[in-house]
Structure 1
Amino acid sequence: MAAMDELDLPSKSELQPIVDVFKTMSDPTRMRIILAVANGPITVSAIANLLDLSSSNVSHQLRLLRQQRLVVGERSDKQIYYRLIDEHVLQIYDLTKTHIEEKNEQAQK
């Protein structure tokens, strides 16, 4: 095990983009939108209907998700279809969910 003075920890500025992604994903509405978008390209109105949200709320949340490069929108005629920017986004969710399930199982023993 490395001595404390030998640890190569990232600086605050190196960690900030990572923390920003977690902050963005920590909102339940945005997480539900991520999961909806993970199923394939989908429009704002379809997300709003699926999640029982207003289109303006969905658009606002998608803007925040785009800023963190978690989702991307692609125009097709008059519609914009949103999708995950890559599978890493869903892997973060899956790993976190697995972690929680394992900890809950251990706590029940």
Structure 2
Amino acid sequence: MLCSNNTQYMKHLAFFTAKRGWNVVVSNHRGLGGVSVTSDCFYNAGWTEDVREVVDHLHLEYPKAPIFAIGTSIGANILVKFLGEDGENVPIAGAAAICSPWDLLVSSLIYN
């Protein structure tokens, strides 16, 4: 699982996925999940480099393991953008985008 945060629904999703025998990796956005920001940039809805780094690392460490990715909310947006950018070069066997905001500007106005 990629691009998530420290919410109850993600904890449940990770727990029940692992309980069914899957290896689970959760990647939080920079500055979320109780981790301090140590780099000179924060995450944003267009920043796909962190997902790329996680996927490339997992593929390098476990080259024969199929990788499935799930992104939720802004993480879904980032995941879909990453998949579109890298296309056929992505070593991901399958992906799901859950509750991706369609219009980031409108979504930000609703919550502000």
User: How high is the TM-score relative to the length of structure 1?
Assistant: 0.27
User: How high is the TM-score relative to the length of structure 2?
Assistant: 0.27
Larger helix fraction of residues: 1
For the pair shown, which has the larger CA radius of gyration, 1 or 2? 1
Greater RCO structure (CA 8 Å; 6+ sep): 2
